[in-house]
Amino acid sequence: MTNPDAIVITGIGAVTPIGQTAEGLWRGALSGKSAVRRVTRFDPSPFISHTAAEINDFDPTIYLDAKQIRRLDRYSQFAVACATQALEDANLDQGDVPSDRVGVCLGTALGGIGYAEEQHLNYIERGLKAVSPMLALTIFAGAGSCNIAIEFGFSGPASANGDSCASGPIALGNAFHYLRRGEADVMLAGAAEAPLQGLTYGAFALIRAMSQRNEDPETASRPFDKDRDGFVMAEGGAMLVLETRRHAEKRGARIYAELASCATTNDAHHMTAPRPDGSSAIRAMRQSIERAGLTPEEITAVSAHGSSTPLNDSTETHSIKAALGEDYAKTIPVFGTKGMHGHALGATGAFEAALCAMALHKGIIPGTANLFCPDPVCDLDYVTEGPRAFTPGPILSNSFGFGGINSCLVFKPA
């Protein structure tokens, strides 16, 4: 018997390096092709890393008029574009729900920092008069969620978080709780990121967090491979429409999947390295499974964080085995899609949430790109030969961020 109060996903919008719109993202994930190339947005030669997953075909004029394009930076443009797509995909018109019953939750690691860096160069070179008067209104994390609210007149709950690479799932979790508490009928939730500027990129290169496989960009991001050497920075966004099943069925909405639970913990250990024993990540996984009313043996697949960093991937493997039981964890598929779309920091977990929902809707899970020689330490059933059909069942999705932030979601079939 279905639960009418369950939180379901009825719309998806995406602007990503492997595809735009829900179907574009899905086709990109099924293709198995990497969008990573040498950086073109700026000269990366001063840095030890030269690769990124850029979006070079994004057209903001599809979603915004000329005045709005001048007012919104790339981060907020991504957010509004994804929200527009998600509402259209959900077949949800502005008049369908009272505006004060629709809210927005957005995640981002760095918000408008890329635009701030661009404007700082203007200031250094030409003085204050060369700086955009919109600068103060673009750099904070809440700019994205507020611009969505303004664009559509949504006056329900609105929030933004800056919880590093766990930002997207935490935004989805916040929206989940708003709906559960009855504070909204519909929530737009997801994340956006536009970090590809020289100094911002260079900051991550300085701490040697990114791949240095500059001679072969397309294989630079290789989750769980024994030769992985760091993540590959990306940009983009994804937004999901969430509502209760009761509300969705009343309006005859198509349902992709159910968002069954969320859980967040902190390693309290180190700003960049995961806790070696994975105990806090394990606890987040277990809590999300328990809150979904499931046992570990009912999880049928795992969407891994799989950042392609030496420490993360091995620690995540250990944590998955500990959370699900080592023997059982080795019998279910684990997939990580960052080898294709790179790591868009706070937005990536939203990419992956969208892919989980579509995987459940279509009965297919994506592959794990660039896994040429699996690390013996990473000894789970990583999907390596492209997409795989599966009988839809609960999917656990992991996101782990700098600062030791762990956020896990569980999705169920519609």
Give this prediction's pTM: 0.97
Domain residue ranges in the chain: 7-250, 260-413
pLDDT at 4 over 90: no
CATH architecture designation of domain 7-250: 3-Layer(aba) Sandwich (3.40)
pLDDT at 95 over 80: no
Of the residues 82, 105, 262, 305, which is catalytic? Answer: 305
The answer to whether residues 135 and 119 touch, using CB atoms and an 8 Å cutoff, is yes
Report the 10 Å Cβ neighbour count for 291: 14
For the record, the structure tokens of 119 come out as: 């404007």
| Span 289-311, pLDDT tens digits | 999 999 999 999 999 999 999 99
| pLDDT for the residue 96 | 81
- Segment (H or E) for 238: strand 236-244
Contacting residues for 82 by C-beta, under 8 A, at least 6 apart? 13, 14, 15, 190, 192, 237, 238, 239
Q: Which one-letter DSSP state was computed for residue 343? A: B
For the record, the structure tokens of 88 come out as: 């259209």
Q: Which CATH code, of 3.30.413.10, 2.60.40.10, 3.40.47.10, 3.30.1300.10, is assigned to 260-413? A: 3.40.47.10
Is 146 a residue of the active site? no
> Which whole number is the average pLDDT over 110-136?
95
| pLDDT for the residue 1 | 63
Q: Kindly report the average pLDDT of the chain as a whole number.
A: 96
pLDDT at 209 over 90: yes
3-state secondary structure 22-68: HHHHHHHHHHCCCCCEECCCCCCCCCCCCEEECCCCCCHHHCCCHHH
Of the residues 343, 356, 378, 408, which is catalytic? Answer: 343
> Which whole number is the average pLDDT over 373-399?
94
Residue whose structure tokens are 């795992």:
302
* CA 351 centroid distance within chain: 4
Backbone φ, ψ for residue 177 (5° rounding): -70, -35
Contacting residues for 292 by C-beta, under 8 A, at least 6 apart? 260, 261, 394, 410, 412
Of the residues 146, 165, 262, 356, which is catalytic? Answer: 165
Is 305 a residue of the active site? yes
Whether the domain at 7-250 and the domain at 260-413 fall into the same CATH topology: yes
